[in-house]
A and B are shown apart, each in its own frame.
Chain A
């Protein structure tokens, strides 16, 4: 039999209204309030399960001391064996929605059981938690309880049985904003041929991959005179000290690092290596200056072509980096260079 733990706020937990919103976490044996509906629905399906415990917490208590409240609530059920966790539904109650989302997220992480909640799509908890947990779309108020709860139970049972979760429109959950790998009944090549023939007939055909918008960065104005200017070298070629002390990833990098060229005439292969996964690094590892041209820049520096070579060079690995991380890395490097008074940078790419 399926053992369910249900989370509700002070109102649905029958402690009281807004005046009791500061109520501390408690646990009650069996179903309380909407938990009765869960028991009824499951009884109707041949006694598949029941609510073994109900967690109740005041909305203010949870949102004002979220970390502590969640910790206390989890402590209350730690040791109680259960199979799935249901929170709410919270409809359009904002604080309750956040509590349901956060509890589902934490219970899923800590106990690894299927979790589900329900909310109105405009509930602030929906945006905050839809990526992390499945949230059944509900009406704005509790009048929709009898529609919402069966959908919540149906989906969480499906997860419990290990069946794949279907599309948002079929299962009734708020779209999570992710793209899931699924198996089509036809080969990609067959779909492509069909779409091409339709496009050639003049039909409007859908694209399977939505086109992302391009983020175009306007170029900085040119440096008019190099006299006295500090120049830095930035590379996505993953040139790091032997042993890669900062653990820069060889592909799909999440960070950058800086290494000093101060007082170095050039970069020696005994000190630096490229750990990049996107190109053949043999030649770079024979002479790292061909990726980070410290030798040539030192010479130009001596000749007075420009002011100074910046003491540090900046490194990441540019291969299959996610947009999010690429943006973060780029902005990080640019702001550090700006702070250091660097007027121009040479970006070497691979």
Chain B
């Protein structure tokens, strides 16, 4: 399977009369894009604002973040969600690097996130360094939370592909090939490594989509790494905290998948990814972990695996059952997890389960840790968030978990903890 990513670096975004890309600048025809999103009658009002790195801007009520992309052959993206069903991960994909699309909305029951484009909060998220196209939406009267989430998702996906269309015919700033099919001699005795990616599957608005379907309808299955970084999986969570879900942007730029891919044939032999749902009962969890470990051992034939989870404390059970099942088959494991230690970091870690075979966990930080944010000149997304009190334009003292990828269960963060 051969995937070529063509990167189109974005160093500026502006509204213009025609949506186009050139000289590192993305021009956006505001009216045209708003009209495209407004076709969805589930949305009553759609507006758009731009936010650039360094501005004294705070973006609030963020529900998902995406990266503008398009597949060159099919002229679409996100198969099964927006485009027709086809395999992701092969062909040519154009990426607007340095740009992002933000789905923004507010409703009781939806969990919003917050990004500062400058100041002390900016250092904790990669999205203070992206040029952000903020889609501001309001739900139609009577729209339920789940439907609103789906409407937001459609808006984010459509906007991403619409913007990436501007790259067609332009010259890329760089290219990267993703192909695991190396001659056997190049792989030699390199350690065979896999990735076990747990996907939250706790109901509507609380799980991602894989090729357009809810993860709760999946059993563990093998995906080629290219599929993950090329739009097969899309974030579908609207009512869980940003700290315990993976945004679409994070999945497209998945640091574990990219990290293993880029070491393939040099330091290791990347055999593939098993995605596995996180069911709600223990018997189901044991069944999925048995199956996931079996796929890794007997089909992919790996000797080591990185396991990540998605979700809250409940999913530590999946993490530990998966670890247990893999180690029992002789597969070495490293787990990535977040910690819950209270605002001052003094609490005991409430792990719901511990496998006696688990021995290495990488920390992506204390979800309860607090941060001071300075007052901002401009607010995009509203000065009110359901889960945060006060006027959001002012200086804030808030838990880090409101900042996307400050805590990242996929490992897309520099944050960790240290004994003090």
A and B, one complex? yes
Report whether A184 and B416 are in contact in the complex, using a CB–CB cutoff of 8 Å: yes
Which of A178, A206, A323 has the most chain B CB atoms closer than 10 A to its own CB? A178
Number of interface residues of A (CB under 8 A): 48
Binary contact track B220-240/A, C-beta < 8 Å → 1, others 0: 000000000000000000010
Cβ of A335 within 8 Å of any chain B Cβ, yes or no, is: no
Q: Which parts of A188-206 form the interface with B (CB within 8 Å)?
A: 188-193, 195-197, 199-201, 205-206
Report whether A188 and B364 are in contact in the complex, using a CB–CB cutoff of 8 Å: yes
Cβ of A1 within 8 Å of any chain B Cβ, yes or no, is: no
Q: Which parts of B18-66 form the interface with A (CB within 8 Å)?
A: none
User: If A186-B414, A188-B408 touch, does A181 touch B354 (CB 8 Å cutoff)?
Assistant: no
Q: Distance (Å) between the CB of A180 and the closest chain B CB?
A: 4
Cβ of A319 within 8 Å of any chain B Cβ, yes or no, is: yes
User: If A200-B191, A280-B204 touch, does A209 touch B361 (CB 8 Å cutoff)?
Assistant: yes
- Chain B residues contacting A210 (CB-CB under 8 Å) are 349
Q: Which parts of B254-277 form the interface with A (CB within 8 Å)?
A: 255-256, 259-260, 263, 267-268
Q: A207 CA to B416 CA in the complex, in Å?
A: 12
A190 — nearest CB in chain B belongs to which residue?
B259
Pick the contact of A193 from B259, B340, B351 — CB < 8 Å?
B259
Q: A326 CA to B363 CA in the complex, in Å?
A: 23
Q: A105 CA to B327 CA in the complex, in Å?
A: 47
Pick the contact of A207 from B191, B341, B359, B420 — CB < 8 Å?
B359
User: If A175-B420, A319-B312 touch, does A181 touch B365 (CB 8 Å cutoff)?
Assistant: yes
DSSP class of B's interface residues: helix, strand, loop or mixed? loop
Pick the contact of A211 from B312, B354, B416, B417 — CB < 8 Å?
B354
Report whether A197 and B256 are in contact in the complex, using a CB–CB cutoff of 8 Å: no
Q: A188 CA to B414 CA in the complex, in Å?
A: 6
Q: A182 CA to B339 CA in the complex, in Å?
A: 13
Q: A114 CA to B365 CA in the complex, in Å?
A: 25
Q: A129 CA to B240 CA in the complex, in Å?
A: 37
User: If A177-B346, A196-B306, A200-B303 touch, does A208 touch B363 (CB 8 Å cutoff)?
Assistant: yes
Cβ of B157 within 8 Å of any chain A Cβ, yes or no, is: no
Q: A160 CA to B75 CA in the complex, in Å?
A: 57
B346 — nearest CB in chain A belongs to which residue?
A178
Report whether A188 and B420 are in contact in the complex, using a CB–CB cutoff of 8 Å: no
Report whether B420 and A168 are in contact in the complex, using a CB–CB cutoff of 8 Å: yes
- Chain A residues contacting B414 (CB-CB under 8 Å) are 183-188
Q: A320 CA to B306 CA in the complex, in Å?
A: 24
Q: Distance (Å) between the CB of A326 and the closest chain B CB?
A: 7
Q: Distance (Å) between the CB of B410 and the closest chain A CB?
A: 7
Q: A321 CA to B347 CA in the complex, in Å?
A: 11
Report whether B256 and A193 are in contact in the complex, using a CB–CB cutoff of 8 Å: yes
Cβ of B174 within 8 Å of any chain A Cβ, yes or no, is: no
Q: Which parts of B153-171 form the interface with A (CB within 8 Å)?
A: none
Q: A195 CA to B335 CA in the complex, in Å?
A: 10
Report whether B263 and A193 are in contact in the complex, using a CB–CB cutoff of 8 Å: yes
Report whether A209 and B350 are in contact in the complex, using a CB–CB cutoff of 8 Å: no
Cβ of A176 within 8 Å of any chain B Cβ, yes or no, is: yes
- Chain B residues contacting A320 (CB-CB under 8 Å) are 312-313, 340, 350
Cβ of A322 within 8 Å of any chain B Cβ, yes or no, is: yes
Report whether A324 and B348 are in contact in the complex, using a CB–CB cutoff of 8 Å: yes
Cβ of B11 within 8 Å of any chain A Cβ, yes or no, is: no
User: If A181-B366, A186-B414, A200-B303 touch, does A322 touch B203 (CB 8 Å cutoff)?
Assistant: no
Pick the contact of B420 from A167, A184, A199, A205 — CB < 8 Å?
A167
Q: A183 CA to B369 CA in the complex, in Å?
A: 13
Pick the contact of A189 from B336, B339, B350, B418 — CB < 8 Å?
B336
Q: A134 CA to B257 CA in the complex, in Å?
A: 41
Q: Which parts of B296-335 form the interface with A (CB within 8 Å)?
A: 303-306, 312-314, 332-334
- Chain A residues contacting B362 (CB-CB under 8 Å) are 188, 191-192, 195, 208-209
User: If A187-B411, A187-B414, A279-B202 touch, does A208 touch B361 (CB 8 Å cutoff)?
Assistant: yes
Binary contact track A60-81/B, C-beta < 8 Å → 1, others 0: 0000000000000000000000
Q: A165 CA to B185 CA in the complex, in Å?
A: 50
Q: Which parts of B388-416 form the interface with A (CB within 8 Å)?
A: 400, 408, 410-416
Cβ of A179 within 8 Å of any chain B Cβ, yes or no, is: yes
Cβ of B246 within 8 Å of any chain A Cβ, yes or no, is: no
Q: Distance (Å) between the CB of B120 and the closest chain A CB?
A: 11
- Chain A residues contacting B332 (CB-CB under 8 Å) are 196, 199-200
Number of interface residues of B (CB under 8 A): 64
- Chain A residues contacting B306 (CB-CB under 8 Å) are 189, 192-193, 196
Q: Distance (Å) between the CB of A121 and the closest chain B CB?
A: 15
Binary contact track B353-387/A, C-beta < 8 Å → 1, others 0: 01000111111111001000000000000000000
Q: Distance (Å) between the CB of A44 and the closest chain B CB?
A: 29
- Chain B residues contacting A188 (CB-CB under 8 Å) are 255, 336, 362-364, 408, 411-416
Report whether A187 and B334 are in contact in the complex, using a CB–CB cutoff of 8 Å: no
User: If A181-B365, A280-B206 touch, does A322 touch B416 (CB 8 Å cutoff)?
Assistant: no
Cβ of B176 within 8 Å of any chain A Cβ, yes or no, is: no
- Chain A residues contacting B303 (CB-CB under 8 Å) are 200
Q: Distance (Å) between the CB of A155 and the closest chain B CB?
A: 13
Cβ of B278 within 8 Å of any chain A Cβ, yes or no, is: no
Report whether A322 and B347 are in contact in the complex, using a CB–CB cutoff of 8 Å: yes
Cβ of A218 within 8 Å of any chain B Cβ, yes or no, is: no
Report whether B340 and A322 are in contact in the complex, using a CB–CB cutoff of 8 Å: yes
Q: Distance (Å) between the CB of A242 and the closest chain B CB?
A: 15
Cβ of B210 within 8 Å of any chain A Cβ, yes or no, is: no
Q: A131 CA to B341 CA in the complex, in Å?
A: 14
A278 — nearest CB in chain B belongs to which residue?
B312
- Chain A residues contacting B204 (CB-CB under 8 Å) are 280
Cβ of B337 within 8 Å of any chain A Cβ, yes or no, is: yes
Which of B206, B365, B408 has the most chain A CB atoms closer than 10 A to its own CB? B365
Task: Enumerate 22 A-B pairs (CB-CB under 8 Å) in ascending A order.
Answer: A165-B420, A168-B420, A175-B419, A179-B341, A179-B345, A179-B417, A179-B420, A180-B419, A181-B415, A188-B408, A188-B412, A189-B412, A193-B306, A195-B360, A196-B333, A199-B360, A200-B332, A207-B361, A212-B351, A212-B354, A278-B312, A323-B347
- Given contacts A183-B415, A184-B414, could you give 17 more A-B pairs where the C-beta distance is less than 8 Å? A182-B418, A184-B415, A189-B256, A193-B193, A193-B260, A196-B306, A196-B360, A197-B191, A197-B193, A201-B191, A206-B360, A211-B358, A212-B354, A280-B205, A319-B312, A322-B340, A322-B348
Q: Which residues of B contact A (CB under 8 A)?
A: 123, 191, 193, 202-206, 239, 255-256, 259-260, 263, 267-268, 303-306, 312-314, 332-334, 336-337, 339-342, 344-351, 354, 358-366, 369, 400, 408, 410-420
